[in-house]
Structure 1
Amino acid sequence: MTGIEFYSNGHIISEADSMRKKLGALAQQYRATSAIIVTDAGITQLGYVDIAQQSLQEAGIQVVVFDAVIADPPVDVVNDAMKIARDHNCDLVIGLGGGSSIDTAKIVALLPNDFESVNDILDKDVSGFNKLPLFAIPTTAGTGAESTFVSVITAKDGSKKAIYTPKILPDVAILDATLTLKLPRHITAATALDAMVHCVEAYTSRTKKNPISDALAVKGLQMLWNNFEKVLAQGDDIDARAEMLLGSTLAGIAFVNSSVAAVHGLSYPLSINFHIPHGHANALVMCGVFTFNLSEAAPLYAELAHAVMPTQTSGMVDLDAATLFIDQLKMFLENSGLKYRLSELDITDQDIPALADIVINTYARLIATNPKDMTLDEVTTIYKEIL
């Protein structure tokens, strides 16, 4: 076994209503005096910001809110959030919401360092930077951003840039399932399938697969798999929501320490060029990529199949178990209510060559971690199969 370096949050709380009950006291432990809540307008409208703000203020902490985060946060939005934090002398950063809000908060937490714009640190080594205390409170069970040390920002040229360093790992992750109860069905489905992809790609990583990530990926996938249909059928099932949220966090810890791969490589151009939400984009391409990988990864997919479908896969050879596993993921997608053909999302055959070219030339790092290499023609074929 090769050497392992593994990182995870210092403090994870998984408890219903924990944001209201514990946020202020946790902030006091970090001697915070002024906190910025980084979120989006939808989270404010749901009343969640009010709950967080009250908890902090009751603990004697001043609060400023930045709720202008948008999906795939661009550099300018992140810069605006940093300016507000700087102007209010914030000494605690709280990311509240989905992956975009938490990713934005991660960069805001780098405020003490000498740079004017996020542009100045894209593609740079920030491992020596200082960081403000950072809390992450997810409102979706999917991205795992609360437990990862990567922030994905949209650069001025439209490409996705990742700032990747343990320096931006949240100090505290608060998993409060009550914050996911109001999620619409389509967001619940897309984020859950995103988290399942994280588990699968972590477990099958060609470059950084390791026993710790493997264990977390398997447990996370079991929690997500066993509760996926429950939360779609009954969105107010708090126990199922809590399982999904913790499963997503385990998936995040797993993949950030092992890597994601070609599913993400093929999904990014769909999000950038056609504004398909990240989780939905991953769900669209996952089965095509996993099927392509079968010649190399069938034994690993079979192990996951046995973990989540022990009765159905008992006695099966690896290829059959792996195929059943992929078929069930496809069924999850098709029964979720999400659109699952590219043509349903206004993508045409003429768009595919450009999408494939982006995958090969911009996201080669994600092909390098995939169990099997991909050529331009093979990427094109995967896209065409789901057209």
Structure 2
Amino acid sequence: MTAFAFSTVANILSEPGVTQRLGDIIAERFPGTRRPFIVTDAGFLRTGLLTLPTLSLEQAGMLPAHFSGVIADPPEAVVLDAVDSARRHEADLVIGFGGGSSMDVAKLVAVLAGSAQAIGEIYGIGKVSGKRLPLVQVPTTAGTGSEVTNIAIVTTGATTKTGVVAPQLYADLAVLDAALTLGLPPPVTAATGIDAMVHAIEAYTSKHKKNPLSDALAREALSLLGRNLLPACEQGDRLKVRQAMLLGACLAGQAFSNAPVAAVHALAYPIGGIFHVPHGLSNSLVLPHVLRFNLPQAAHLYAELAGVIVPHASGSEEARAEALIVAMQQTAKMTGIETSLRQVGITENDLDRLANDAMLQTRLLGNNPRELSRDDARAIYAAAL
């Protein structure tokens, strides 16, 4: 067996409605906390779902503050604004409430609020020095898995994204409360759910760092997500289904944090960066076409995953791998989300720019089971039109 290392968050708490007791949980696990700092976005703040968690913190004798300026694909300026707000509040603990963008900003606030490091000094892998503020992550979508990853993505130019990867970005506690996800509309549920499935598929087939623990987590994640995605879209008020989706996304996050994602994400990033397509939908649009490109190198692994998603699939490895790809296409179609690049405003004239940008994602492309050239990237985008 190949040697491997596996890292993840210290604690996970999975229970519907648990954030209504957030104050007691923080007081018990982080004694002495007085000034928690909540990072979220304006949309989630407007739902009113933060009212009870905030009240719980106050009843536990704390003085919470909110930063609700997070936007999708957060730029540096938003991160720095949040860091300044946390410093002014004299925050002694950070809580991320939201999707991947809010949780990513929360990670960076926890790292930078008490540090002399500039944000530009921490881009890359292992560049964060020193400690951080205690960090709690509460996902409000079942998708990114950011609550259990050590990665934060920042928009650093007009369309470019840069990652911060460091062990300090692992939270002290991830809290999975499906009650916070009940109001998610079907298109968001679908796109974020497929995003989580992509995390599991890419972790299972990652060229580097794939290991028995990430494999087990990826398979269980796919099982949970595959069984519950359509019910979550069709009957979004079912708490049990929503909790299963949150857990699936969390397990997929643990998998890809250790066995990193690859070409699906590399080709999705330019779609999001240039055309402002949500990340999960960007992944879904290119997923089947990247999987087909990878078949010569990864058919045996895709066949194994077909046993999880389409257990009735039979025949050769290639036939079962194709069944997995078709199942993912059908899943996207049945949820009603867009399934072609044209549907999100992308034309043939955009493909060269997309291909050029995708090739800049060298960190991700290096994990792909099959080497991918610029011409390959363009061909995949063309197939996705």
TM, length-normalised to structure 2: 0.97
Q: Tell me, yes or no, if the aligned pair for 1:144 and 1:249 is still in contact at 8 Å.
A: yes
Q: In the alignment, is residue 216 of structure 1 matched against residue 217 of structure 2? A: yes
Deviations 1:72-119 (A, max 9, x none): 01000000000010011101000000000000000000122113x423
CA distance in 2, matches of 1:261, 1:317: 25
Letter in 2 for 1:155: T
Q: Tell me, yes or no, if the aligned pair for 1:24 and 1:57 is still in contact at 8 Å.
A: no
Q: Tell me, yes or no, if the aligned pair for 1:107 and 1:168 is still in contact at 8 Å.
A: yes
Greater shift, 283-292 or 3-12, is seen at 3-12
Letter in 1 for 2:345: D
CA distance in 2, matches of 1:371, 1:23: 45
Deviations 1:359-384 (A, max 9, x none): 11x10221110010111111101100
Q: CA deviation at 1:124?
A: 6.6
RMSD of aligned C-alpha atoms?
Answer: 1.2
CA distance in 2, matches of 1:218, 1:277: 25
Aligned length: 383
Q: Tell me, yes or no, if the aligned pair for 2:36 and 2:93 is still in contact at 8 Å.
A: yes
Spell out the pairing of 1:349-368 with structure 2 (5 A cutoff): 349-360=348-359, 362-368=360-366
Determine helix, strand or coil for the equivalent of 2:69: coil
Q: Tell me, yes or no, if the aligned pair for 1:9 and 1:169 is still in contact at 8 Å.
A: yes
Map of 2:133 onto structure 1: 132
Letter in 2 for 1:306: G
CA distance in 1, matches of 2:368, 2:197: 16
Greater shift, 71-80 or 330-339, is seen at 330-339
Greater shift, 41-50 or 142-151, is seen at 41-50
Map of 1:79 onto structure 2: 80
CA distance in 1, matches of 2:202, 2:129: 29
Q: Tell me, yes or no, if the aligned pair for 1:38 and 1:69 is still in contact at 8 Å.
A: yes
Q: In the alignment, is residue 194 of structure 1 matched against residue 195 of structure 2? A: yes
Q: CA deviation at 1:247?
A: 0.4
Q: In the alignment, is residue 338 of structure 1 matched against residue 329 of structure 2? A: no
Determine helix, strand or coil for the equivalent of 1:373: coil
- Percent of residue pairs identical: 42
Q: In the alignment, is residue 283 of structure 1 matched against residue 281 of structure 2? A: no
CA distance in 2, matches of 1:107, 1:131: 9
Letter in 1 for 2:379: T
Q: CA deviation at 1:48?
A: 1.8
Greater shift, 27-36 or 241-250, is seen at 27-36
Letter in 2 for 1:112: G
Spell out the pairing of 1:238-317 with structure 2 (5 A cutoff): 238-310=239-311, 312-313=312-313, 315-317=314-316
Map of 1:321 onto structure 2: 320
CA distance in 2, matches of 1:365, 1:25: 37
Letter in 1 for 2:136: F
Q: Tell me, yes or no, if the aligned pair for 2:36 and 2:65 is still in contact at 8 Å.
A: yes
Letter in 2 for 1:352: L
Q: Tell me, yes or no, if the aligned pair for 2:121 and 2:127 is still in contact at 8 Å.
A: no
Map of 2:10 onto structure 1: 10
Determine helix, strand or coil for the equivalent of 1:67: strand
Letter in 2 for 1:128: S
CA distance in 2, matches of 1:346, 1:294: 28
Map of 2:383 onto structure 1: 385
Determine helix, strand or coil for the equivalent of 1:369: coil
CA distance in 1, matches of 2:121, 2:71: 21
Instruction: Choose which of 112, 115, 119 in structure 1 pairs with 2:114.
Output: 112
CA distance in 2, matches of 1:242, 1:94: 20
CA distance in 2, matches of 1:58, 1:126: 38
Map of 1:375 onto structure 2: 373
Determine helix, strand or coil for the equivalent of 2:86: helix
Letter in 1 for 2:343: E
CA distance in 2, matches of 1:85, 1:114: 14
Determine helix, strand or coil for the equivalent of 2:50: helix
Determine helix, strand or coil for the equivalent of 2:229: helix
Deviations 1:236-288 (A, max 9, x none): 01111110000000000000100000000000000000000000000000000
